[in-house]
Structure 1
Amino acid sequence: MHHHLAEIIASILIVGIALQWIGWRLKIPALILLIIAGFIMGPLTGWLKPSEDFGDLLQPMISLSVAVILFEGGLNLRWHELKANTHVIYRLVTWNVVLTFLFGSLAAHYLVGLSWTVALMFGAIIIVTGPTVIMPLLKQANLRKKPAALLRWEGIVNDPIGALLVVLIYGYYVQSEGDTLATGILGGLAISLVVSVALGVGIGLFIARAFRQGSVPEYLKSPLILIAVVLVYTIANRVQSESGLLATTILGITLANQNLSTLHELKRFKEYVTILLVSSTFIVLTADIQPEILQRLGWQSWVLLALVIFVFRPLAIYISTIGTDISKQERLLIMWIAPRGIVAAAVAGLFGSQLAQKGYEGAELLLPLVFALIILTVTMHGLSIGWIARKLNLASAHPDGILIVGASLWSTGLAAELQKNDVPVMLIDTRWKHLKAARMQNIPTHYGEILSETTEEVLELSNITKLVAVTPNEAYNTLICSRFAPELGHHNVYEMGWKNIVREGDGKEKDSRKVPSQSIRGDCLFDGQISYEEFRDSFAHGWQFESTPLTEKYGIDNVLEDKPEGTMLIAALDEAGHVQLYPWDKDLDADDFSVVISYVPDKKGEEVEAKKSKKGSKS
């Protein structure tokens, strides 16, 4: 039995991460693949039977996983986003919640015939737009900062609110002897809010202070935070059932806004854990659903789901955002995007069965209704968010965007050449005068320090997929690459080659003592053929960047043959607009490139030198 359980757990983890990778490669939401995998591993093959395999441990495992996921989501909520969009975010977590709850509850009761208890719980469940789904979709779509912040805040804040509201409604009807429904729910919400704020903020500030004072060694920081999440969740739940989700979310928000020097490393660790939890939890929850339960849904149920997706959500967002500074395009996007995730599934699975056992009318429909909503919204919103965002001009239409750190005449020339080929590019530098040439050519620029938090707050980097560090300071270039490599990928950050060559007699040898470890460096630009100083001097002597269209009969080799001697390859673009900086991956087929950018010597200068050499030979 133990061996079988170990094999089941291993298969869940392996399949989950494999599908995350496949989803990334195919540019489709991995959650869709995880749902399919859950049905295959569970109902179709019978390999995975979560309720039997894990028994009483299933629900605690899911609850703790959701708590960690919501905490990680809270780590991505920064106060500067709230300050910039206070009015809209406030409406999304108040009026939008109330309207969605009312619309869903009334329709579930009068259209489908659910009892008021089950109908109110359905209305509370559809409030959640989980971060387990929202966060991956935002990464996939490369949304601009404002709409991404709005969807992120709504999803992460409303998730625990919806779950808590379900618990309070359940407690009122099944356990409470309070006088009125409103009094019971409002009283429970007040208790939960006080407990969650006290625990989340208090423990968050305590941890931040301990980190600043050096009271915790580096290797214990991530485990300590993980245990803090479990502690906060457990204590909050002891005081008020399911308030732990709200408390862990507040803990994450508190730590995210303490300006801790190690926050990036901690966030990276939590992101790794969250990916494992999201992948495995989605598979487990889906595998526990029997396909026949979806057959219980009549036409009224499908009409209800259609109303939730196509009417209630758009109407609630439209009414909630009246009088705010949100643009028409942003409003349309938020009206459509509202995928449900793990929290909705976990809450419906837990309370649906309990209500059914107690004989509440329509309780057996709660779980299939919610799971059908999850499948529909994850599929429709996941597959459409990128296309809709680009149509509304809220995301880059180009697959690649390049951030160039270090403005000089030659890097400005490179940026201009990339821009000619419709590649989104931005130049950033700490010296205002160095950005003058770029501004005169209408190249987007930013004056500031790329590593400062202020720059991170104001800079719009949703369309940036590659970073090129080309300042005169090699160590600074490496520092920038090491900072952005976890976000963009180690093969998407580039820096100039280090001057690691010393002269010994007439030869040259590498001096490895001067070069930092490859693990913290970016990829070496242009195969290290040319240094910053050589770029600067050659550009001053007339070298230029040139773009050459490629065809089946005219390839890169032909370009190099026709160009002057010394020409260097810089970058190549394919038909889809993807950019590959030289040296590109050996596995790439050069025949797929449509344009090549090269660095070409001054032709006039060559002609002058040739004439001088001829005169010298005659004399």
Structure 2
Amino acid sequence: MENLLMIMMIIGALGVLSQWIAWRTRLPAIVVMAIVGLLAGPVFGIINPEADLGDLYGPLISIAVGIILFEGSLNLDFREIKGMRKPVFRIVTVGAFLAWIFGSLAAHYVAGLSWAVAFVIGGIFIVTGPTVILPLLRQAKLKPRAAAILKWEGIVVDPFGALLAVFSFEFIKFLTIETVTFDAVIMFLLASILAGIIGAAFGYGIGWSFERGLVPEFLKSPVVLVTVIMAFALSDFIMHETGLLAVTVMGMTIANMHISAISDMRHFKENISILLISVIFIMLTASLDRETLLSIFDLNIMLFIIMMLFVIRPLTIFLSTMGTNLEFREKLLVGWIAPRGIVALTVSAYFANVLIDAGFQDAEILTSLTFGLVFGTVLAHGFSIGWLSRKLGLSTDTKDGVLFVGSNKFSANFAKALQDLGVPVIITDASSSRLTHATKAEVPYEHEEILSEQMEYQLDMTPYDYMLSVTEFDSYNTLVSSTFKPEYGKEHLFQLPLQTNEGDQLSEVSHHISGTVLFDGQVTWTSLNEKINDGFIFEKAPITESYTYDDFLNDRSEEDVILAIVKQSGSVNFFTPENNLTAEPGDQIISLAKPE
């Protein structure tokens, strides 16, 4: 037991460490996790999760994949693909079918597999999945259309890859094994339909009970988690690999019921999914043996991977999206990005054993073939998605962007000063009259309530790394900070200091629910706007070798307010009472300064 606990501790620590390294170095997280897993497993032999965990290994991975798939499907709101339903539908239906056929042909003629094994593995390889797609989308900052297509394909097609493999295997047994009847194939189809019904029923039940207050707030996340496991296990008990379909349908059902508690569910499940993705990837890569790792470099396997990357994937996307409103550059990006991940690894490992037991000895290379494709696509797509999306104009600006909540003289002119230095900015406000300040300053704005449900589909927040809540209402600023803290984190979420003599006088508000207080902690919405009325201007002071940060501090007036430093790299650092910022040559300091 002590050894088992130690192994689980090491796996968890390596998974979280991999995510942290990826965050610090801005490398693709899945690439870092793959490297760390290989170093801990086949290279140095520190752990071998498959052997160490024994019978727990398979069920743990299956349940984790089910939870990850459910978390991804919670984001599949049909409002997100308004105007893109045709290309998305084509890709997840016609595209998936073509990928299965072409992949099977390549597996037979290039990898040298028998027809039976080729069609099983061809079904598995249509999947991409949220475990690999979602981290890449977060890293690359893709524009909404391209991101939505890749996300929907990855999540919707994921369970169908496993189902296609099961269907192929059942049909092959019907054709080659005399004892297997056509009834087995029919039973598989009925079990798949039943899994969909189970998922929809569980999802509707969750949504219905939550909306009617039958479940208290503190129990909602645990109830959802247990229900996901129940739906997955029940469907998988009826027919192996149908559990993935059940949890996907369950998540989509809840997402499109538009229940008020869905945002809390997403935050909870997203945190769990990040941990599970990290742990599972470490487990799978660390369980490889050196022979399997070396066999990836077999000529037939490498040729098959090249075919999948450069021929089959682009061909299926271009054929399936003919006659849709998808732009050529979008087809090009989607036709290149298709990394395989955890579902492909787990399902192929299962079928490798099943096919060998059924007498198909060439299935021995399935593990090597799958790991080769996973590593090949993860490395190729992980390192190229950012570069290619920027070249095609399908990614947002790589510089740190700033989203201002509240339009007034201060926010509009501050946004203009940042924009002049190349920082992407936008102002949101529900009042058209207040937005006249943004119009006069000639900065982008969105006429929408930031807390409304529609805002999620109205405005792409991906380009904006920082949110500044700068309205005159302390309570509203705090509410905005509390609402967006799960997405931004307190270090990227700012609000003006509380007003002591005006407004709501929330002097006792907990710092746990508020954003980081801006500037010196004393200036308020009123004082900032009064300074502008008194003629104070936004100055941009460049720091050089001859004009240092100390020189700037000596030159400023006591009434000036230092606001931010725009670094030479393009990142933005805001002054707060807690931090002690300094500027270096090449940086620019923005301040609200008294005119000379």
- Quote the residue 1:407 is aligned against: 407
Please name the residue that 2:230 is paired with: 231
Pairwise CA distance, 1:571? 0.7
Task: Quote the residue 2:562 is aligned against.
Answer: 569
Aligned to 1:250: 249
Alignment CA distance shift 1:189-1:433 (3 Å): farther
Note closer, same or farther for the CA distance 1:345–1:579 as it changes in structure 2 (3 Å cut). same
- CA contact under 8 A between 1:127 and 1:162: conserved in structure 2? yes
Instruction: Measure how far apart 1:51 and its partner are.
Output: 3.0
Unaligned runs of 5+ in 2: none
**Per-residue deviation at 1:529?**
2.9
Q: Tell me whether 1:355 sits opposite 2:348 in the alignment.
A: no
CA drift of 1:555 comes to 2.2
Tell me the secondary structure at the aligned position of residue 602 of structure 1. coil
Would the aligned equivalents of 1:114 and 1:361 in 2 still touch at CA under 8 Å? no
Report if the CA contact (8 A) 1:417-1:545 is conserved. Answer: yes
Give the CA deviation at 1:395. 1.6
Paired position in structure 1 for 2:97: 98
Q: Is the 8 A contact 1:159 1:343 kept in 2?
A: yes
Q: Which residue of 2 aligns with 1:528?
A: 521
Q: Distance in 2 between matches of 1:410 and 1:587?
A: 23
Q: Secondary structure at the match of 1:204?
A: helix
Q: CA deviation at 1:18?
A: 1.2
Alignment correspondent of 1:110: 109
1:398 & 1:276 partners in 2: Cα distance?
26
Question: Gaps (5+ residues) in structure 1?
Answer: 503-510, 604-619
Partner in structure 2 of residue 579 of structure 1: 572
1:386-423 CA-partner distances (Å, limit 9, x unpaired): 22222222222332111111111221111111110111
The alpha-carbon deviation at position 485 of structure 1 amounts to: 1.3
TM-score scaled by length of structure 2: 0.95
Deviation at residue 219 of structure 1 after TM alignment? 1.8
The 2-side partners of 1:239 and 1:417 are apart by 62
Q: What is the rounded CA distance, in whole Å, between the counterparts of 2:312 and 2:343 in structure 1? A: 20
Shift of 1:561: 2.7
C-alpha deviations, 1:60-109, integer Å up to 9, x for none?
Answer: 11111111110111111112013331101101101111111111111111
The TM-score with structure 1 as length reference comes to 0.91
Task: Map residues 23-38 of structure 1 onto 2, 5 A cutoff.
Answer: 23-38=22-37
Give, in whole Å, the separation in 1 of the partners of 2:238 and 2:303: 39
Counterparts of 1:42 and 1:272 in 2: how far apart (Å)?
Answer: 26
Over alpha carbons, which structure has the higher Rg?
1
Q: How does 1:204-223 map to 2 (within 5 A)?
A: 204-223=203-222
Correspondence 1:29-428 to 2 at 5 A:
29-174=28-173, 187=186, 190-297=189-296, 298-428=298-428
Write the distance in 2 (CA, Å) between the matches of 1:322 and 1:14: 46
Whole-Å separation in 2 of the counterparts to 1:470 and 1:257: 33
- State the shift of 1:203 in Å: 1.3
State the Cα distance separating 1:482 from its structure 2 match: 0.9
Counterpart Cα distance in 2 of 1:479 and 1:291: 53
| CA drift at 1:182 | 13
User: Which residue, out of 551, 559, 562, partners 2:544?
Assistant: 551
TM-superposed CA distance for 1:172, in Å, is: 2.8
CA deviation after TM superposition for structure 1 residue 501, in Å: 6.3
Q: Is the 8 A contact 2:497 2:521 kept in 1?
A: yes
2:271 counterpart SS class: helix
The Cα of 1:144 is off from its aligned counterpart by: 1.3
Asked whether the equivalents of residues 470 and 532 of structure 1 are also in contact (C-alpha less than 8 Å), the reply is yes
Deviation at 1:27, TM superposition (A): 0.6
Local SS of the residue matching 2:127: coil
User: Which residue identity lines up with residue 528 of structure 2 in the other structure?
Assistant: F
Percent identity between matched residues is 38
Q: Which residue of 2 aligns with 1:542?
A: 535
Following the alignment from structure 2 to structure 1, what is the Cα–Cα distance between the partners of residues 377 and 166?
Answer: 24
Quote how far apart the aligned CAs of 1:37 are.
Answer: 2.0
Change (3 A) 1:27 1:378: same
Alignment-mate amino acid for residue 260 of structure 1: I
Give the superposed CA RMSD. 2.4
Equivalents in 2 of 1:142, 1:13: separation in Å? 27
CA distance in 2, matches of 1:160, 1:8: 30
Query: What secondary structure is seen at the aligned counterpart in 2 of 1:514?
Result: coil
> Hey, what's the Cα distance between the residues in 1 that align with 2:425 and 2:492?
14
Q: Identify which range, 185-194 or 515-524, moves more after superposition.
A: 185-194
1:356/1:193 CA distance change after superposition, 3 Å: closer
